[in-house]
Chains A and B, each alone.
Chain A
């Protein structure tokens, strides 16, 4: 089981490089644009190493748990890329709602793939965007809806000892993905 998760991880990691598209008023970006290339390269290397080590292990080997843990910490600590911070962008993804309250101004997370909250391992920190709907109210969205979001990408910092930042998108427009 854990091995399966590792394989899924690496598959997702290999999905990172995807060619970008042409610009509009809100520049359409893809999820790989949000990953600093240096971290992407480093992560690919880490994966190669892990596969080497775990290739010979059994599924029930307790060392797999530790390696899995390390991997998750690495993903949780993924840094953001400054490339599009402050710029108007357009990106499509899947909705993960946050609050219990089901209102049009409900904030939600945007993730690159379906089912990020249930079975598949959750994305690295630089593949999660906190979307704040416009004050006039956004689209009625539900868990795992596919949407386009247009808005200004920003960085949200928190004063913790980790000094971690995350992506935030003040949405101007949220539309269903067709």
Chain B
């Protein structure tokens, strides 16, 4: 069972890739609502696997994964995909965008694919375009790039467009996986600032996975991934 105060709960997770030592063995953690969580883990510690599990893309052979009150370990793949689309947003290190869609089309993608998320956006805005433009403003993206094909944007702009896409339609959870490592330090700080501000104003539960300890202080909860083969 999951309680009302937790947004993500992982119980007794066990996972191993074929012919490899287990990544997770009786792994547990809980993320409370309205938290900004920093997940630390060096390379090879299984953070992409964990993200895939939390996103519902991977099946955990043993253990419980509760996301936003949904029992992921009991749902089918397509059901988890639906929840991910409606209630979660993701930002990755690079290559977040669909190259043949424009900036705005990329941002609005979740709204065009999931009616529930579209409805959530339309609660606050008259049209989905307005919702998209608002986020562009919040993320310091100039309107001139609205219709530009996304492959023509700079890396910094692309990351912020990805952030806009993650936050549009008020998802409950936004997960970022090393979102800044492709940026220089100045852009990194700028990005982090926008990221945290947006999360604050939309009351989103933020999760960030990173190996850069300089970013850890920005968050108020920390989870360390287990070292390979050792219980937590």
Q: Do chains A and B touch in the complex (CB under 8 A)?
A: no
